[in-house]
Amino acid sequence: MQVAQLLKEYLPDNDLAARWGGEEFLILLLSVSSSVEVAQRAEELRTCLATYNHPNVGQVTASLGIASTTGGETPETLIARADAALYRAKQQGRNRVCGAEVSPTQLI
């Protein structure tokens, strides 16, 4: 619940955050316009969560998978790419941000 509250305070009103399941959240950054901005905001959010002293549990870390939409991509594909990036972040040691890979067909 504390993470959800921090997300609510951190994100601008036009961005959206929702619990996706378990300890996962889906965040839509509608207020940014580039992949670079998405990466910067994700890193800021990761740092914010890691430096906050959560009541009863202390410090928590966050692994984030990020993806920017490509032309003609479905929401399901976008979420799947972000999810794959999230698992890559966890596999690389947790408490980090990893970007989604884009296949050559997505660039067309």
Name the catalytic one among 9, 23, 76, 101.
23
What count of other Cβ atoms lies within 10 Å of the Cβ of residue 38? 18
Cα 103 to chain centroid distance, Å, stands at 20
Does residue 23 have an active-site annotation? yes
H helix or E strand, kind and range, residue 24: strand 24-28
DSSP, residue by residue, 29-47:
-TT--SHHHHHHHHHHHHH
Active site residues: 23
